[in-house]
């Protein structure tokens, strides 16, 4: 059975790679491509593909928003393509959905497409995958947290993926996003960011510092009853007693 497939990714290089890998596998008709969420919605409605290789992290409209915009009656089979994103991976694992981590390997793509072929045959004409419907129901009941932040840098707007941020530092009326060795100033307040960030991924440890939890490597006690939080990139940030309970809650252990 020849299946029709749509490739959705905002990066041209990633689309070219997926196109080449799919053609090497064979027995798949690439019906089209889309480079953003809005185009993806239109392409799915127009082309009615059997399978969509859907990038999760896209600006303006991400992969989840694409699916919500299509409507449940028109949902194709979906294989999610994602950079490492704890929020997305948890959602896929909970609902036993297929996902491919970038850079996508030929072997894993072939396996995902074969499973999609089996699912489509087993549904016997029923178009909608109930697992995708369950995912959308799950997302609808959860608050969507901030995942990207546009910042002005040297006369242009740069969109920073918050999954890449190690920690955030207060600086007067601005904050500074620390991403590896790069820093990005943003006109935001710590209070507003703290409310908009996923509390399972980010924790405020000081009035002037928020860290991404999975970047924490160790906590060193100091002489004043506080701790120094050492991040995986070597950065050291003070954990004040005021915010200690928040860290204990997210680690589920007393310090």
pLDDT for the residue 84: 67
C-alpha closest to that of 250 among 214, 224, 220: 214
Peptide bond into 162 cis (omega under 30): no
| pLDDT at res. 154 | 83
Whether the pLDDT of residue 199 is over 80: the answer is yes
For the cut 60, the answer to whether the pLDDT of residue 143 exceeds it is: no
Go through the domains of the chain in sequence order and give each one's CATH number.
3-141 (3.40.50.2300), 148-251 (2.40.50.1020)
* pLDDT level of residue 245 (50, 70, 90 thresholds): confident
CA atoms within 13 A on the CB side of 194: 16
The pLDDT, as a whole number, for residue 126 is: 62
Residue 124: pLDDT over 70: no
Residue 81 in contact with residue 71, Cβ under 8 Å?
no
Residue pair 58/37 in contact by the 8 Å Cβ criterion: yes
Give Cα separations from 65 to 57, 90, 128, 223 (angstroms).
10, 17, 17, 48
Average pLDDT over residues 170-195: 89
Query: With a threshold of 0.85, does the pTM exceed it?
Result: no
Q: What percent of the chain lies above the pLDDT cut of 90? A: 50
pLDDT at 127: 64
pLDDT one-digit tens code per residue, 29-46:
999 999 999 999 999 999
Whether the per-residue pLDDT at 141 is higher than 80: the answer is: no
Residue 208 has pLDDT above 60, yes or no: yes
Provide mean pLDDT across the span 195-204.
88
- DSSP reduced 3-state for 216: strand
DSSP 124-175: TT----HHHHHHHHHHHHSPPPP-EEEEEETTEEEEEEGGG--EEEEETTEE
pLDDT at 136 over 90: no
Tell me the per-residue pLDDT of 98-113, one tens digit each, with 9 for 90 and over.
Answer: 999 989 999 999 999 9
How far apart CA 60 and CA 58 sit, in angstroms, is: 7
């Amino acid at each position: 059975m020849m299946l029709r497939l749509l490739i959705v990714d905002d990066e041209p290089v990633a689309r070219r790679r997926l196109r080449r890998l799919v053609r090497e596998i064979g027995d798949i008709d690439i019906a089209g491509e889309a480079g953003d969420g809005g185009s993806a919605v239109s392409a799915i409605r127009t082309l009615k593909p059997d399978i969509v290789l859907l990038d999760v992290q896209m600006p303006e409209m991400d992969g989840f928003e694409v699916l919500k915009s299509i409507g449940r009656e028109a949902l194709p089979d979906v294989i999610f393509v994602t950079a490492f994103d704890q929020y997305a991976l948890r959602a896929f694992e909970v609902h036993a959905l297929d996902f491919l981590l970038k850079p996508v390997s030929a072997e894993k793509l072939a396996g995902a497409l074969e499973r999609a072929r089996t699912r489509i045959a087993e549904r016997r004409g029923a178009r909608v995958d109930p697992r995708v419907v369950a995912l959308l129901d799950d997302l609808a009941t959860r608050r969507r947290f901030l995942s990207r932040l546009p910042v002005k840098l040297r006369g242009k707007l740069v969109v920073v993926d918050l999954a890449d941020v190690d920690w955030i530092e207060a600086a007067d009326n601005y904050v500074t996003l620390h991403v590896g060795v790069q820093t990005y100033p943003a006109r935001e307040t710590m209070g507003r960011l703290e409310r908009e960030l996923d509390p399972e991924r980010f924790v405020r440890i000081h009035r002037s510092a928020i860290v991404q939890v999975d970047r924490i490597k160790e906590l060193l006690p100091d002489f004043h009853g506080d701790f120094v939080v050492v991040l995986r990139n070597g950065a050291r940030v003070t954990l004040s007693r005021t915010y200690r309970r928040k860290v204990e809650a997210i680690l589920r252990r007393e310090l």
